[in-house]
Amino acid sequence: MDKVYLRRQKRVRSTLRRNSSRARLSVFRSNKYIYVQIVDDKRNETLISASDVKKSAKGKNVKRVDSAGVVGEDVAKRALKKGIKEVVFDRGGYKYHGRVKALAEGARKGGLSF
């Protein structure tokens, strides 16, 4: 791991721990796909997870940024079905732009607030 990435991740997570009353929307971004999960840190369990692995096979010419927005809307829809309306956005060590930003905007568009 890159030192800058780890430093940024530590800084983001330290601010999130102060607001631990809500569930955490955690993002992992690989070169090809994006994964997101809603985690309850008090019970140490994953409540909801989603990714664009299966969705990317349907449309070959879909941009990764657009696919991330769809994943955000999908996880928001699942969260609302379970009664989760407010989360804390954990971008990890990633900068808030590109696919991470598209995922966050998709989740907001789907009805989650953070």
Place of tokens 């369990």: 45
For residue 15, what pLDDT is reported?
Answer: 81
pLDDT tens string 19-45: 678 899 999 999 999 999 999 988 899
Per-residue pLDDT band for 111 (boundaries 50, 70, 90) equals: very high
Q: What is the DSSP letter of 96?
A: S
Q: Has domain 3-110 been given CATH number 3.90.850.10?
A: no
Q: How far apart are CA 107 and CA 36, in angstroms?
A: 10
* Model pLDDT for residues 46-73, shown as the tens digit of each residue: 999 999 997 655 656 788 999 999 999 9
Which tokens hold the place of 72? 């955000």
pTM given for the model: 0.87
Query: What are the residue boundaries of the structural domains of the chain, listed by start?
Result: 3-110
Counted residue by residue, the chain has a size of: 114
